[in-house]
Amino acid sequence: MKEQIDQVLNDINKLPPMSNVVLKIMTLLQNPSVSIQEVANEISKDPVITASIIKLSNSAYYRASKPIRTVSESLMTLGIKTVKEIVLLTATKKILNKDLTSYQLDAEAMWLHSLIVAELSARISIAKKTNIPRDLAFTSGLLHDIGKVILAQFFPMKMIEIKNAVKDSFRAFTDIEKEFLGYDHQEVGRKALETWNFPEELKEVVSCHHNFDDSKKFPKLVACVHVANHLAVISGIGIDIGGLSHEISKPALDLLGITDQELEIYFTNIPEIQKAITELVSV
């Protein structure tokens, strides 16, 4: 099975389609000296992303200080980091807003789960003063489960076997995935981001969001997404065949300095977060 998965992951044409413009923008934005005009020029090559940027830039969620009519105005008003967030939001919906039947997740639940984890990751990062850029925490949370999309799309029959095995097991769901596939969805997600040439921070989050102890370079970022994902799942948003087989990591909580009381507050805030991201759900 590992060989079959490698064949899919090594051929970018077989992966869920990520806009070439998005991939170019991600490469551009890894250069700290990139200019607003360079980014604006690249974005303008994709009319769908351009329209989404203008629409979301004027939404209540992003709270622009003035009406925005062009991508350049969005970049100057909201900043490059926020526009990058909007670009990825627009591009990933096409990938994440899918029925994952073998995971028992419909498209709406998958997309909502991704957005809840994104927003909650960003809020935790800010509240705990991690110095992680908000857009990085948001994007990391948004992409964390991308490996599930690939496994559900290309290996549905194997996923049915995993689903049946989960019923009679108390092991972590990722361990069962690995037994049947050779990889779990975290590793598959990381390999996809490697093929797309995404930054190291995102790759580590995707590959460690259940297994916090495996995080080496960006533990605080992984911890934010780990906690956010756990809270979203126990709230019932995005719960799949894996159920509640993964426990929240105490070392992750300790690293961020999250108390039991704060954890409860984050959990009770999820309905408010869901309301706050209404405009993002329909992007």
Instruction: Output the DSSP codes for 34-64.
Output: --HHHHHHHHTT-HHHHHHHHHHHTSTTTT-
What's the pLDDT score for residue 164? 82
What's the pLDDT score for residue 158? 85
Is-contact 224 121, C-beta < 8 A? Answer: yes
Q: Among candidates 43, 116, 105, 117, which has minimal Cα distance to 75?
A: 43
Looking at residues 23-44, what average pLDDT do you find?
A: 89
Q: What is the three-state SS of 110-124?
A: HHHHHHHHHHHHHHH
Q: Name the pTM for this structure.
A: 0.91
What's the pLDDT score for residue 72? 94
76 Cβ contact partners less than 8 Å away, ≥ 6 residues apart: 36
Q: Which two tokens stand for residue 228?
A: 């956010």
CATH topology of domain 2-281: Hypothetical protein af1432 (1.10.3210)
225 versus 103: which is more confidently predicted?
Answer: 225
CA distance 15 to 65: 38
pLDDT in tens, 216-234: 999 999 999 999 999 999 9
What's the pLDDT score for residue 12? 62
CA distance 144 to 226: 9
Q: Is the pLDDT of residue 111 over 70?
A: yes
Domain ranges of the chain: 2-281
Is-contact 76 53, C-beta < 8 A? Answer: no
What's the pLDDT score for residue 59? 93
Confidence of residue 259 (pLDDT cuts 50, 70, 90): very high
Q: Is the pLDDT of residue 105 over 90?
A: no
CA distance 17 to 223: 29
